[in-house]
Homo-oligomer: A and B are copies of this chain.
Amino acid sequence: MPSHTEENYLKTIYKLAEAEPGQDVSTNRIAAALTTRAASVTDMLRRLAEKELLRYEKYRGVQLTPEGRRLALLTVRKHRLWEVFLVQQLGFNWDEVHEVAEELEHVQSPLLMQRLDEFLDFPTFDPHGDPIPAEDGAVRRPTHRLLADLEVGDRGTLAAVKDTSAPFPQYLDKVGLALGVQLKVLDKVSFDNSLELRVNRERTVLISAEVGRNLFVT
């Protein structure tokens, strides 16, 4: 059984590797992501390599083994299934669930997750629009595009959010954006790439390029 901390490391490494498939996952990036020091990371990497959960060539970054990848995906799966439960069943807001899921994801019980999955009717995306890995580790690559990449006249449905730290979802609420709304790009201001959007054919919203780079549409 991996410890909570080990699972958190594996998950973080998986996500960093995923985010930029080319680059190798470096000690400092992991340290930054987990707000700890490089020395602590090196330490943990040695232990995880010892347990064969990753390959660690010094100065060369790190790569999950199949088993390490399996554990990382399992943790992500649990995290996201719990998030769905919290939002759909317990009425949490989508910006309140992360912390709690961060704890629930460490509960060890395959049967529990199987039953929860069934109870939720086998969801494939979490409340933030992120895909829920299947039990066998398969991840449905969402067909999302960055909102910032759309051209004037393009339409789409808001499907996922990149930055899920609390302030951002709150900002979205405030400007009247939520997952599932229909969007059409009315204008793209050339000098700063900010976007003028029609929302649900009703309202108009202006967002910065920065925001556009944190939203996905289908």
Contacts and interface: CB of A to CB of B under 8 A. Distances in A.
A191 interface: no
- Interface of chain A, helix or strand or loop or mixed? helix
Nearest to A92: B115
Contacts of A52: none
A8 to B, nearest CB: 15
Interface stretch (A60-68, A103-111, A128-136): A103-111
Interface residues of A, number: 18
A111 B116 CA distance: 20
Interface string A92-129: 10001001100110011101100110010000000000
A103 B113 CA distance: 14
A112 B89 contact: no
B103 A115 contact: no
A193 B90 CA distance: 49
Interface of A: 86, 89-92, 96, 99-100, 103-104, 107-109, 111-112, 115-116, 119
